[in-house]
Structure 1
Amino acid sequence: MADFRFPRSARPLQHTWRPLRHIRPLRFGLGTRAMKCVFVTVGTTSFDDLVACVSAHDTLQILRSLGYSRLVLQIGRGKVVPEPLSTESFALDVYRYKDSLEEDLQKADLVISHAGAGSCLETLEKRKPLVVVVNEKLMNNHQLELAKQLHKDGHLFYCTCSTLPGLLQSMDLSTLKCFPPGQPEKFSAFLDKVVGLQK
């Protein structure tokens, strides 16, 4: 087997952030084996702890052991920018924003997301396996309650950054239930109930 090395630890930006273009986009042509992909999204703000955790050497080893060969990171305004990687056996791609995440969600075999309601709904409606990572620094914004309820209903797994590696190794994606598509009004009502606007 060829020598395989993951990128060095994610490093903080040394200057004011600016939008990044997609780094080394992969094109799948004839004779190219499709790569099993994990897509990570932090939304419109930042979640540096998640980006650092998922791009850490140990987490990358776990993903690779599970058969994933591509990791796409949408990092928002974060200061942690993992180094891109492109080898025959693994690829790591990084960008800040796109007009739409639809293409990346569609290509993903697993989505790891912050706990924002919009990101959760978009992923669930595309019937993609979802792991929601709750930001422990924002516990007062009801993200934990939302993640707990959707997990209770069988639609996703949830964790914190510290428990993500363990969850990746223990979770069984086949147990997840599809979220009923095309019902944003039901999701809104559910969200209102979670945050205490309805009883």
Structure 2
Amino acid sequence: MKTVFVTVGTTKFDELIENVTSKEAHGYERLVLQVGRGSLLPTVDSCLHIRLEAFRFKDSIAEDMKQADLIISHAGAGSCLEALGAGKPLLVVVNDKLMDNHQLELAAQLHMDSHLLYCTCSTLIQTLRSMDLSALQPFLPGQPRKFATFLDKALGVR
């Protein structure tokens, strides 16, 4: 069953939840929503065109990401890195209503590196219809030991 997992992290992003639950937003059979602090918590019967599960928070969303064929996320760094680490195709939806939106910079850079696709709520439906997930490149895990060694040398610890 083709599954899309949507996460807004710990924030409130009702516009994303509204857009992703609209009938024209899908080519998937199952939609799992993590709605965070938003005012919307869609119910199973509010979205009859797709099998829907929704929750606010849980200790870990790693299993939801693992089961997904596509992850749609807000542009928070933690959510993006967790989704990329899961090795799943990622579509980031930038909240263009935020002032000084630093999230756009992260999404744009990761898009330039071919790790994800990004859009805004106003272009979400168009992006879902036209996206080519085969063009995405895997995001390789970081190498914290190299960074620690660099810091040790730079600070004269080693």
Which category of TM-score, normalised to the shorter sequence, fits these structures? 0.7 to 0.9
Deviation at 1:87, TM superposition (A): 10
Counterpart-to-counterpart distance in 1, 2:134 and 2:107: 18
1:58-107 CA distance string (max 9 Å, x none): 22xxx1xx3x1100000011112222149998311110000001110000
Is it true that 1:48 corresponds to 2:14 in the alignment?
yes
Deviation at 1:175, TM superposition (A): 0.5
Change (3 A) 1:139 1:131: farther
Is it true that 1:81 corresponds to 2:41 in the alignment?
yes
SS in 2 for 1:99: coil
1:35-69 CA distance string (max 9 Å, x none): 1100000001210010011011222xxx1xx3x11
Which residue of structure 2 aligns with residue 161 of structure 1?
121
Is it true that 1:91 corresponds to 2:57 in the alignment?
no
Counterpart-to-counterpart distance in 1, 2:113 and 2:67: 25
Runs of 4+ in 1 over 4 A off after TM superposition: 85-89
Counterpart-to-counterpart distance in 2, 1:168 and 1:127: 19
> TM-score normalised to the size of structure 1?
0.68
Structure 1 residues 118-137: aligned runs within 5 Å: 118-137=78-97
The answer as to whether partners of 2:23 and 2:49 remain within 8 angstroms in 1 is no
Identity %: 62
Which residue of structure 2 aligns with residue 194 of structure 1?
none
SS in 2 for 1:178: coil
Structure 1: where are the runs of 5+ without partners? 1-34, 187-199
The answer as to whether partners of 2:115 and 2:137 remain within 8 angstroms in 1 is yes
Q: Which letter maps to 1:120? A: C
The answer as to whether partners of 1:85 and 1:93 remain within 8 angstroms in 2 is no
